[in-house]
Amino acid sequence: MSTTAALLEQAARCEAQLTAPGAPFELVDIDVGGRRLKAYARAFATLPALIDSGREHGDKEFMVYEDDRWSFTRFFAAVDALAGRLQAELGIEPGDRIAIAMRNRPEWAVAFAAIALVGAVPVPLNSFGLRDELFAALHDVAPRLLFCDAERHERIANDLAALGIVDVLAASVPGPDSTSLDFAALIAPGGPSARTPALAPEDPALILFTSGASSQAKAVLSCQRAICQAMHNIDYIGAISAMTSPKALEKLMQSGLAPTTLTAVPLFHVSGLHAQLLASLRGGRRLVFMRRWDSKRALELIRSERITQFNGAPSMVMQLLGEPGFAEATASLGGLGLGGAGMPQRVIDDVLACRPDSLSGIGFGMTESNGVGAAAAGALFFQRPASSGRLPPIMELRVASLDGAALADGAAGELCLRGVSVMDGYWQNPQATTQAVDEDGWLHTGDIGYLDADGFLHVVDRIKDVINRSGEKIASAEIESCLLQHPQIQEAVVFAQPDDVTGEAVVAVVVTRPGAELSPDQVHQHVAGNLAAYKVPRDVHVRSEPLPRNPSGKLLKRVVKHEYSGA
């Protein structure tokens, strides 16, 4: 028997053992919206129950942010104080929406947990967003409260009164004339006790924003069950990885190090919120937050904090691997985690070379599926490093042609997902929901891929006109809209080009109005003044001749991309 066949047979035995009746990942059939779907029988029913499970970790260290260290005990003391005051003093009820806009820091985690514990719906916002993006998100979901830090407060403060939103200022003291509530006062001991809400698995649990093919990010609403099933699935992936990678697991166990993750990805994404914050809270793992991404500083933290796991965008991993002294400084590192679509081959090769026989891994998922899609770590990752992993038992995959017909395994088509972790829909946007999830419950990802003969998913292209830059999904239509607001730009087209550092780069081609003079630098400055920095095009091409179009007036974007592919 070949090595591959032996590994796959071992994986099949492990999957059967873990999902059998009475096992930790026992599967049951449940009814969701009139459909029978697979679910983990022992997953938590609600997000508050999942969060409460972290109380058992007591005085173990939980979060580190610069010189500030939080134990689980300190964390839950702050969470409980805030939850009690949210109910008693601010009148928060189950189902109320509460937004969070701040950089990764302990206060973010405290706010999120307290909001969830009272049955309200946390709404993490993109902290990179400038005023217009934050305003649009807040206007869309109309939250009762906004938890923010000073930097985000400065961007949106003048709009809060018109939006009817009360803000809570964290990591800074409100000035004497400020209308902001003081976060420190709300988490002080001595407040009222929180009442435990009665929640059902179908109740709303979370709203996350995602940039799809539209010009404005959409708000993804998920229920309690979807979040908890997704979290239990993270444990399932870990169990399969450990059972099929005994050498890597033994090496990690023999180190005696406390499992610790360096968190550099944003908490407003599923990769940061689900796979790092919530997984660590439930599992008793340490989290070390970075103020901002810097590969040299990351290497210092890995060495000083004895980091055992780092998950990041391809550009982060590449920069980290390129730092002098990487091997010596990262002796504690038991694995590197990578995103699973459009991964540059250079990153894969470097990980294979520097961390053989580790618990490194890869994954593919969406905000709309709460991160559940495909994953592989350890030996299974090293078996198919260019794939996006294997499907878990709670997710179905359908590969479809552009006309919707199902395709056989091995044929490339649009990847459609169906499972218990899929969103309820886009907040107050039934039209977009219907476009994304068909009447049979299939979530159309907009990605092109195929399933190989051994059950590994390969994502090869993208239908949606979305650019994936360092793990951040960027809608080209949003940047095009911004460009067209410039008085000297008549036409604009934005697309992706491969980039060895960021995976994909943003490229813009603009057509000036007759007689206008415009430099690429001026275009860069215009976008930078209106959108987040990561959305600013790497390359700008200025032209005076019109963009190519077909007889019906439709822009021939492929022709434009080809024209500038060698530029």
Quote the domain boundaries for residue 514: 466-563
Is the residue at 332 inside a domain? yes
Q: Of 156, 184, 199, which one is at a domain's C-terminal end? A: 199
Same domain assignment for residues 122 and 251: no
Is the residue at 207 inside a domain? no
Is the residue at 216 inside a domain? no
For 345-382, give one letter per residue: b (16+ CB within 10 A) or e.
Answer: eebbebbeebbeebbbbbbbbbbbbbbbbbbbbbbbbb
In the numeric block, the tokens 């009447």 are attached to 439
- Tokens (6 digits) for 522: 């001026």
User: Of all helices (H) and strands (E), which one includes residue 75?
Assistant: helix 72-88
Same domain assignment for residues 178 and 232: no
Q: Does residue 152 contact residue 172 with C-beta atoms inside 8 Å? A: no
Same domain assignment for residues 84 and 63: yes
Same domain assignment for residues 183 and 286: no
Beta-strand ranges (E) seen in 422-482 are 425-426, 443-451, 457-462, 466-469, 472-475
Sequence-distant (6+) residues with CB within 8 A of 236 are 18, 25, 40, 392, 393
Same domain assignment for residues 11 and 98: no
Q: What is the pLDDT along the chain (567 residues), one digit of tens a residue?
A: 678 899 999 999 999 999 999 999 999 999 998 999 999 999 999 999 999 999 999 999 999 999 999 999 999 999 999 999 999 999 999 999 999 999 999 999 999 999 999 999 999 999 988 999 999 999 999 999 999 999 999 999 999 999 999 999 998 888 888 899 999 999 999 999 999 999 999 999 999 998 543 346 799 999 999 999 999 999 999 999 999 999 888 888 888 999 999 999 999 999 999 999 999 999 999 999 999 889 999 999 999 999 999 998 776 787 888 889 998 999 999 999 987 555 666 677 888 888 888 899 999 999 999 999 999 999 999 999 889 999 999 999 999 987 788 898 899 899 999 999 999 999 999 999 999 999 999 999 988 889 999 999 998 866 767 788 888 878 777 888 889 889 999 889 999 998 888 889 999 999 998 899 999 999 999 999 999 999 999 999 999 998 887 544 557 787 898 899 865
Is the residue at 479 inside a domain? yes
Same domain assignment for residues 132 and 164: yes
Same domain assignment for residues 251 and 124: no
CATH of the domain at 537: 3.30.300.30
Please tell me the pTM assigned to this model: 0.86
For 161-196, give one letter per residue: b (16+ CB within 10 A) or e.
Answer: eeeebebbbbbbebeeeeebbebeebbeeebeebee
Four-residue CA torsion sign, 108, 337, 443, 135: positive
Same domain assignment for residues 16 and 132: no
Three-state DSSP state, 134: helix
Is the residue at 136 inside a domain? yes
